[in-house]
Amino acid sequence: MELSPETIKSILDQGIHLAYQIVPTLVYALLFYFVGKFIVNKLVKGFSRLLNARDANPSLNIFLVGLVKAVLYVSLFIGIATILGVPMSSFLAILGAAGLAIGLALQGSLSNFAGGVLILLFKPFKVGDVIEGQGNTGKVTKIDILYTHLNTFDNKEVVIPNGNLANSEVVNMTSQPTRRVDLKVGVAYSTDLKRARQVILDILKSDERVHADPEPVVFLNNFGDSSLDLVIRAWTDTDNLWPVYFDSMEKIKSGFDTNEIEIPFPQRVVISKND
């Protein structure tokens, strides 16, 4: 089938007219993309330098930089779509539906994600701290955006979802520079309490790891079934807590033996009645 000269001319005219409409739009969209990409890269690099200058958590820095980069690129492509004449209502509806589907599918992970952001942002604990959370106690070895890794005292690794940690009680045992050492010991009812107290205080004051302020104290805490129960409290550096505890227990036992202070066994008084 041969085309008439008039048909060919009409097609060419329509093509030229369409080109005049599309080409400037495409050029404008490409120019917008390259200029926008340049600006986005500059903004992301500046934001990254700002975070690094603040000496924030590296994991949080990576997340925030990635988030800002994603938001800027989404904004860039929305602008390009607008230039090309894509209806924004349809485009945003597609994005909303996709976001809803992803949110429902990753509900648990999003909870951990949000918990990780809160932990990295507010820093209730950091790498190297000893914490107690979710029934586990250990040293924090790594904080990811989704999980926190603990190394327990018997050398087991525990991975805890950040969502659980962010929404429950967490005890940070090493956030403070000093800790109180609490000891308990029982002495016989016949013991001279002033003498026993002085033996204990002399032992604690001779240990240079024990702080003089606040000074160590010894209290009578309870009249037990078999003993007078004493509570001993002393302050030390956090790193010295358990060494001071164990050393003091041994020294108190030796001091009691030297001063003939009895640590009684459980006792019962039995009264026998005959008819």
The reported pTM is 0.62
Mean predicted confidence (pLDDT) in 179-203: 95
| Total domains in the fold of the chain | 3
Give bridge partners of residue 234 from the DSSP assignment: 181
- What are the structure tokens assigned to 209, written together? 């790891």
Looking at per-residue pLDDT, the higher value among 80 and 261 belongs to 261
DSSP string, 35-49: HHHHHHHHHHHHHHH
SS3 133: strand
Backbone φ, ψ for residue 68 (5° rounding) = -65, -40
Across 13-35, b (16+ Cβ under 10 Å) vs e yields eeeeeeeeeeeeeeeebeebeee
| Cis omega (within 30 of 0) for bond into 124 | no
Return the top range by mean pLDDT from 17-26, 57-66, 144-153, 179-188.
179-188
Residue 46 and residue 130 in one domain: no
pLDDT at 184: 95
Is 189 a member of any domain? yes
**Sign of the torsion angle spanned by Cα atoms 30, 32, 33, 38:** positive
SS3 151: strand
In whole numbers, what is the pLDDT of the chain averaged over residues?
83
**Contact predicate 157/150, CB 8 Å:** yes
Looking at per-residue pLDDT, the higher value among 101 and 223 belongs to 223
pLDDT at 146: 83
**What is the per-residue pLDDT across 47-74, written as a single tens digit (0 to 9) for each?**
888 877 765 566 667 767 777 887 888 7
Is 148 a member of any domain? yes
Is 270 a member of any domain? no
Residue 69 and residue 130 in one domain: no
Residues 34 and 28: their CA atoms lie apart, in Å, by 10
pLDDT at 229: 95
Statement: residue 230 has pLDDT above 90: yes
Percent of the chain topping pLDDT 70: 80
Looking at per-residue pLDDT, the higher value among 229 and 82 belongs to 229
**What is the per-residue pLDDT across 84-127, written as a single tens digit (0 to 9) for each?**
776 766 666 666 766 666 555 555 567 787 888 788 778 888 88
Tell me what percent of the chain is helix, strand and coil, each rounded to the nearest 5: 55, 20, 25
Residues 23 and 19: their CA atoms lie apart, in Å, by 5
Is 2 a member of any domain? no
Statement: residue 143 has pLDDT above 60: yes
Domain with residue 150: its CATH number is 2.30.30.60
DSSP string, 15-79: HHHHHHHHHHHHHHHHHHHHHHHHHHHHHHHHHHHHHHHTT--HHHHHHHHHHHHHHHHHHHHHH
Full domain range(s) for residue 145? 124-172
Is 21 a member of any domain? yes
pLDDT at 17: 58
Residue 233 and residue 219 in one domain: yes
Least confident piece of the model among 13-17, 38-42, 229-233:
13-17
Residues 40 and 69: their CA atoms lie apart, in Å, by 7
Mean predicted confidence (pLDDT) in 227-231: 95
